[in-house]
Structure 1
Amino acid sequence: MAHKVNTHSPPLVVDLDGTLTPTDTLLESILLQIKASPFTLFLFPFWLLLGRAHFKRKIANNITLPAELLPYNQELLNYLKQQKRIGRKLILATAAHESIASKVSAHLKIFDQVLSTNLNVNLKGKNKLSAIRNAVGNDFSYAGDSPADLPIWESAKTAIFVNLKNKHKDQLSESVIIEREFHIPGPTLVAWIKAIRLHQWTKNILLFIPLLTSFSFIDAEKSASAIIGFLAFSLLASGTYIFNDLWDISSDRQHPTKNNRPFASAQLSIISGIILAATLVTAGIVTGSYLSSDFTLVLILYLALTSLYSFFIKESFLFDAFTLSILYTMRIIAGAVAIGVDTSPWLLTFSLFIFFSLALVKRCSELKSIQDTDREQIIGRSYCTKDLGAIFTLGVGTAISSVIIFGLFILSDNTQERYQSPHLLWLAVLGLCYWLSLIWIKTAHGEMNDDPLIFVFSNIRSLITIILIAAILIISHFSSIGDLV
C-alpha cells in the first residue's frame, strides 16, 4: 500500500530510461548513429573496449537525440509537475549520457539538477547512488524501474516504482516507504499485430497472380506451393517492416499518424523488435526453402532490396517509387517461381508501370495531407508540396501507360492463340480504366489512404472491380464466346 509523503518531502531523484520514458535512449541513439553512418557499426566493439561511458560519449558526440520527440510516462510526469508546484526539489539521475539528460531536462523544465553519465563515470547502480549522495546526502526519494537500482532504493527515504516486478518490491517492502507506484502498460497482442503489420499481408496476394494468369489454380500441388510461398513472403515482409519501423523511429514520431506505431510510441521495446524481426525473417527464409532454392534466392534478393530501400533509397526523389514498383513486381516473380511457371514479359512490364503509378498515389496522398499544414515537405522524404502537380501528372500518365500495355497484350499473337475468347479481355481493360480512375480521383480529393493497396482491398467498389477483372480473365481463357461484333 502506498504511503503519503511527509510535509517536508525529501528531494525526488528520477531515473530516465524505463521510468520517465518507456524507451531506451542508448538503443535509440545507437540506431541514429547507424542510420547516420552505417560503417561506424564496426567501430562499436573498439569504443566499448574503453568502457561504457566512453561508448556513450562517442555516440553522443555524433548524433542528437531529440528530447522533444521522446515518449514520456505521462502519469509519472504529471505527478512530478505536481510535486514541483508544491516546491519539491527534483533531480534527474540517469545512466544516459549527459548530452541526452541535459536535453530532456531543458525540454521538461522541471528538474533542479541533472546527474548523468559523463566521460569518466557510467552513472548506473552504485555509481548513481554515490552521485546522488554527493548531491543531496542520504535524505532523498527515488523513482526508478530497474533491479539495478535496488541499492539506491534501500538507501532512499521513500520509493517510487515504475513497473517493478513483485519479487523486487518484496525485497524492499521492509526497508523503504513506498511513496507511489506507476504502471506503464506492457506489450499487448494488438501492438504485436500492428508491429508485424498483419494487414499488409494483403499485398502478398500478388504472389497468386501467376497462379491466376497461368490458370494453374486447378492444380492442387501448385496451389499449395503458392500458399507456402505466400506464407514465406509474408513472414519475411513482416520482419522487414519491423526493421523499417525501428529505423524510422525518430521520423515516425514527427508524423501525425505514424507516431502511434508500436515502436515509435514505445509500446514495444527496441530490443524485442530486433529479436522479433530477426525471427520472422529467418522463419520466412526457412519456410521458403521448402519450395526451392530459386524461391529462396528471390526472398533473399527481396530482403536485400527492401533493406536498401529502408536504409538509403526511401529518401530519394522518384527513385523510391521506382524501387517500390520493383519490390511489388518481385512478389509476382516470387509467385511464378513458387509454382514453377515462366513469367510473362507482358505481365512484368504491366506490373512495373501500374505499381509505379500506385507508388506515386502514395506520395500524392501524403502531399495532399500536408497541404493545409505548416509543413512543405513529407517527413523523411524528398517530396514537397510544390511537386504535387508534377507527381500527380506523372502518376496518371503511368496509369494510362499500364492500360495501353494491357491493350497491346490483348492484341499480341500469343494472347490471341492462348485465350479462347480474347475479345472479352477488352472488358477487363474497361474495368482497369475504371479502377485506376477511381484511385486517382480519390487521391485528387484527398480521400486516399496512405497505402493505396490497403484501399484496393478495403474499398468495396475497388474490390468488386478486381474480382470482375479476374473473372473476365478466367472466362475469356476457358470459354469460347463468339465475337460481339
Structure 2
Amino acid sequence: MQDRIQNYPLAVDLDRTFIRSDLLHEMFASCFVRSPVKALIALLTLRKGIAAFKRALFDAHSIDFADLPVREDFAVFLQEQLTNGREICLVTAADQRVADAVRASYGLFNRAFGSNGSINLKGAAKLALLQHQFPDGFAYAGDSAADLQVWTGSRAAIPVGISDDVRKKLAEQNSSIEREFFQKPVRAIDWLRCLRLHQWTKNFLIFLPLMLSHSFDQASFALAMLAFVLMGMLASGTYIINDLADISADRAHATKRFRPIASGTISALHALIASLVLITSAICLTTFISPLLTLTFVLYLVSTLAYALKLKTIAFLDVFVLGWLYTLRLLAGAAAVAVSPSQWLLMFAFFFFLSLSLVKRNAEIVKAAEKWASCSDRSTARRESRLIKGRGYRISDEPLTLAFGVGTGLAATLILSMYVALDMQPMGAYHHPELLFWIVLAILLWLMRVWLLSHRGEMHDDPIIFAIRDPASLILGLVVAAIFASATL
C-alpha cells in the first residue's frame, strides 16, 4: 500500500510546509517596515483580489529566496523521494514568480505552480489544478485548514505541522496518511527571545543619573523604574522592526539565522503587530511622566528606525548611531527624575559605547575573514564574502575598526578620569572620592580584555550578551559596584 502511494506524484505547499514562515506575511511586514508607502499602495490592489495583491507585493519588495527557513526534515524527505524517481511539484498560493524562484533555488521540484495575478491558487482552485495536472491521482503535503479541501481529492496526505483541530478533521475525511511531520508550538521563550529581554540590561543606564545625583527617594526611584520598563518596551519594539528590516541578512548570518523571526518560528505579521503595540504604548505612557521623556523616546525611535532602514549599512556612521542610542538612555533617565546629567558623563557614555559598538563590528569582520580564508573557491569567496552582508564594511576594514575601537575606548577612560577629577570629587558627595579612580582602572582593564578577545576572534557577536555570560566581566562589575559603594558610604 505504502509503495503504491509513493508512486503518485507529490504536490507540496510552500508556506508553513516547505518553509517554516508565511512569505505573504513576511513580505508585507518587511515591506511595511522598509517602505510603508509601497506597502499601502500594494494593499490598494486588494480590491482586485488577493492574487493581485500578492503580485503587487512581489513587485514592491525583493526577497532572497536562497536563505528561506526550510524545514530540514521535510526537505530531506523530499530529496529521498526525488532520488527514488518520484515526481515532486511545488503548488502554492504565492505568486507564480515566487514559486519559480523557490524551485530554482532548491532543486527539489520538477515543476512549480503559483497564483497568476487573477486566480488565487488555494483551496478549490488548487484542487482543480492538481486534478487536471494529475488525473490518475496525487499526494499532497500541506499544513492548514485551507488544505483540507485539497486532501479530499488526493490519494494520500502528508500533513506538516498541522494543529490538533485540522488533524481531527483530516481523520474524519478518512484520508490515507503517507507520513506526518510535526512542529513545536511557539513557546513563551520564543517571544522572549524575539523581544530580546536580555537587551533590557542596557536600560540600567536610566538609573545612573539618579544614582549620581545623590537625590535618591522612593518617588524618584519609582519614576526611574517606570522609565526603565517603558524604555524596554520601546527597545523591544524597535528590535523587532530591525529584525524585520534585516531578515535576509540575518538568514545569511551564522548565528542570527536562528532568531525567531528569521527562522520562521514567529510569524512576521504577528511580530509587526507586537512591535506597533509596544512602541505606541511606551511613547503614550511617557506623557504621564514628563514631556522631556516623551521627546527622548521619540528621538530614540526615530534614530533606531533610521539605523534599521539605512544607517546600519554606512560604515562608522552605524556605530555612531549606536553610541548615540546608549547616550539617549542616560538622557531618558535624567528626564524621568528631572535632574541635569553631567556633560562629562554623557561624553564618557558616548565614547565608551562607541567602542563597544566597534567591538561588535570588529567581531563580525574577524569571523567573516575566517570564513573567507577557509573557503576553497576563492573566486566565489571574493564576490560573496569580501563584503559583510547587510553592513557597510569589508574584510579589509578589520585593522581600521580595531584601531578606532581601541582609540575610542582609551578616550572613554580618559574622559571618565576627567569626570572623576573635575566633577565628582569637588561635589563633596563622596566620603572617599580617591577610590573612584579605581573604577577607571577596572573599566580600562575590561575594555582591554574585550578588545583582546575580539582581535582573536573569540568575542560574541553582541558585547552585552558577552558581558552577561562572562564570569570575569561579572566579577569586574561587582568590583566596580563595591568601589562605588565604598567611596559613597
Question: So what's the TM-score if we normalise by structure 2?
Answer: 0.90
What pairs with 1:30-179 in structure 2 (closer than 5 Å)?
Answer: 30-31=28-29, 33-34=31-32, 37-137=35-135, 139-172=137-170, 173-179=172-178
Q: Does residue 1:394 correspond to 2:413, yes or no?
A: no
CA contact (8 A) 1:215 1:474 kept: no
Question: Which region of structure 1 is more displaced relative to structure 2, 103-112 or 202-211?
Answer: 103-112
Partner deviation per Cα, 1:150-209 (whole Å, 9 max, x = no partner): 222112222221233333344343453222222122212322221111211111111111
The aligned counterpart of 2:456 is 445
The aligned counterpart of 1:207 is 206
SS of 2:407's partner is helix
CA contact (8 A) 1:315 1:381 kept: yes
Give the counterpart letter for 1:332 in structure 2: L
RMSD of equivalent CA atoms: 2.4
Q: Distance in 2 between matches of 1:210 and 1:340?
A: 10
SS of 2:415's partner is helix
Q: What is the deviation of 1:26?
A: 1.9
Give the counterpart letter for 2:472 in structure 1: R
The aligned counterpart of 1:192 is 191
Q: What is the deviation of 1:371?
A: 1.8
CA, structure 1 residues 471+290, in 2 after alignment: closer, same or farther (shift >3 Å)? farther
The aligned counterpart of 2:310 is 312
Question: Which region of structure 1 is more displaced relative to structure 2, 281-290 or 313-322?
Answer: 281-290
Question: Which region of structure 1 is more displaced relative to structure 2, 465-474 or 12-21?
Answer: 465-474
CA contact (8 A) 1:84 1:90 kept: yes
Give the counterpart letter for 1:442 in structure 2: L
Q: Distance in 2 between matches of 1:432 and 1:135?
A: 69
Q: What is the deviation of 1:255?
A: 0.3
SS of 2:426's partner is helix
Q: What is the deviation of 1:62?
A: 4.7
CA contact (8 A) 1:138 1:156 kept: no
The aligned counterpart of 1:370 is 368
CA, structure 1 residues 19+471, in 2 after alignment: closer, same or farther (shift >3 Å)? same
The aligned counterpart of 1:427 is 438
Partner deviation per Cα, 1:42-91 (whole Å, 9 max, x = no partner): 31233323332222223333544333211122222222233323332222
Q: What is the deviation of 1:362?
A: 1.1
CA, structure 1 residues 62+280, in 2 after alignment: closer, same or farther (shift >3 Å)? closer
Partner deviation per Cα, 1:333-385 (whole Å, 9 max, x = no partner): 11112222111111111111111111111111111112212222322101112
Q: What is the deviation of 1:434?
A: 1.9
Q: What is the deviation of 1:321?
A: 0.6
CA contact (8 A) 1:65 1:100 kept: no
Partner deviation per Cα, 1:63-121 (whole Å, 9 max, x = no partner): 44333211122222222233323332222111111111112222332322222111332
Give the counterpart letter for 1:206 in structure 2: L
- Pick the aligned partner of 1:385 from 389, 395, 398: 395
SS of 1:151's partner is helix
Q: Distance in 2 between matches of 1:476 and 1:7?
A: 78
Partner deviation per Cα, 1:263-301 (whole Å, 9 max, x = no partner): 111111112212322333344335544533332332232
Q: Does residue 1:406 correspond to 2:416, yes or no?
A: yes
For structure 1, the 5+ residue unaligned runs are 479-485
CA contact (8 A) 2:99 2:112 kept: yes
Q: Does residue 1:279 correspond to 2:290, yes or no?
A: no
SS of 1:223's partner is helix
Give the counterpart letter for 2:102 in structure 1: V
Q: What is the deviation of 1:455?
A: 2.7
Q: What is the deviation of 1:474?
A: 4.3
CA contact (8 A) 1:216 1:223 kept: no
CA contact (8 A) 1:195 1:262 kept: yes
Give the counterpart letter for 1:394 in structure 2: F
CA, structure 1 residues 149+416, in 2 after alignment: closer, same or farther (shift >3 Å)? same
Question: Which region of structure 1 is more displaced relative to structure 2, 14-23 or 433-442?
Answer: 433-442
SS of 1:10's partner is coil
The aligned counterpart of 1:455 is 466
SS of 2:140's partner is strand
Q: What is the deviation of 1:462?
A: 2.7
CA, structure 1 residues 454+215, in 2 after alignment: closer, same or farther (shift >3 Å)? farther
